[in-house]
């Protein structure tokens, strides 16, 4: 039986849209922006930036846990709408098996690049929209869940670097490198880390052309060039592969798969799985689910 010491849950928590505003001015602004979405569910911003309508609806939520989410949810099972109890219970189940959970919510693209929206959000509006996240993370921390809050890290770096793709809903290679750096610093402090056998990787950066998923949704041929860091094992010359014997499991949605598995996720060897393996010096295990949140991933893990 394999031994997992640390599990990285990399997800975006998106409750159902209720039409309520997290703050009056920010909410009204967002609703105006949401109204510009085309039939495919894509909002066109400035300078070729595209945004997912559902993500913008997510930002209008008053809260990401508790009664606010329950009342807004469209699910028939209202008792299951609140993500907080599910995450805390998952943490407790893992803890019983000696596994540490690091919860890593990915900041919404629109929250980091509000100036690229068709109608911009002021700094004050953005600050108001961040408050529900902070409250949610505080509640998780009170229950013992280890949360890696990437919002301040992304905000600081996003002023000078492009952390998301323009035409795709996922983070860019630069964003991936930032997440890998933050995670590796935390994981290297784990008591089991030094005992894991290490190996060498080669990292080479090159530009590739991608047809982003938001552009695909629009049925447009718009492409963009982005720099990606491709990782290979120095001995085999191949990209890292998931190891079932690894002490570390990366679990989540398509953010764990983009640029790693190829196909409609663009290429292989340059995703978070690959970059984090190189940062840590060993292959991880990977369990990612396309087009889904945390629940399908946890079911597959079970």
pLDDT band with cut points at 50, 70 and 90 for residue 297: confident
Q: Rounded CA gap, 2 and 247, in Å? A: 8
Please compute the mean of the pLDDT values over residues 3-14 and round it to a whole number: 62
Q: Return the pLDDT at 168.
A: 98
The answer on pLDDT for 197 being more than 80 is: yes
Q: Rounded CA gap, 119 and 29, in Å? A: 7
Q: Return the pLDDT at 295.
A: 74
CA angle 111, 60, 155 (to 5 degrees): 15
pLDDT (tens digit, 9 = 90+) per residue, 164-194? Answer: 999 999 999 999 999 999 999 999 999 999 9
pLDDT (tens digit, 9 = 90+) per residue, 21-62? Answer: 333 578 889 999 999 999 999 999 999 999 999 999 989 888
Specify the DSSP class assigned to residue 254.
G
Which residues are CB-contacts of 184 (< 8 A; sequence separation ≥ 6)?
Answer: 276, 279, 280
The answer on pLDDT for 239 being more than 90 is: yes
pTM score of the predicted model: 0.89
Please compute the mean of the pLDDT values over residues 226-232 and round it to a whole number: 98
For the chain, the C-alpha Rg in angstroms (whole number) is 19
């Amino acid at each position: 039986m394999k031994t997992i010491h640390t599990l990285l849950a990399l997800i975006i928590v998106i409750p159902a849209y209720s039409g309520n505003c997290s703050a009056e001015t920010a909410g009204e602004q967002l609703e105006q922006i949401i109204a510009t979405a085309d039939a495919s569910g894509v909002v066109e911003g400035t300078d070729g930036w595209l945004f997912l309508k559902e993500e913008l609806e997510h930002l209008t939520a008053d809260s990401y846990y508790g009664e606010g989410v329950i009342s807004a949810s469209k699910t028939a099972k209202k008792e299951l709408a609140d993500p907080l109890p599910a995450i805390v219970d998952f943490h407790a189940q893992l803890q019983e098996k000696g596994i540490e959970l690091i919860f890593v919510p990915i900041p919404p693209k629109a929250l980091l690049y509000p100036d690229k929206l068709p109608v911009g959000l002021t700094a004050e509006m953005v600050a108001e929209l961040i408050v529900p996240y902070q409250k949610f993370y505080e509640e998780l921390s009170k229950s013992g869940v280890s949360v890696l809050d990437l919002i301040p890290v992304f905000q600081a770096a996003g002023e000078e670097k492009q952390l998301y793709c323009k035409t795709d809903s996922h983070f860019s290679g630069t964003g991936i490198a930032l997440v890998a750096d933050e995670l590796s610093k935390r994981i290297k402090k784990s008591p089991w880390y030094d005992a894991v056998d290490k190996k060498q990787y080669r990292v080479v950066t090159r530009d590739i052309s991608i047809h982003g998923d938001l552009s695909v949704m629009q049925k447009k041929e718009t492409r963009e060039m982005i720099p990606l860091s491709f990782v290979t094992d120095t001995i085999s010359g191949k990209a890292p592969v998931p190891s079932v014997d690894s002490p570390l499991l990366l679990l989540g949605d398509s953010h764990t798969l983009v640029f790693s598995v190829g196909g409609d996720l663009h290429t292989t060897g340059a995703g978070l799985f690959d970059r984090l393996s190189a940062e840590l010096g060993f292959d991880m295990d990977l369990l990612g689910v396309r087009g889904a949140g945390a629940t399908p991933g946890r079911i597959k893990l079970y």
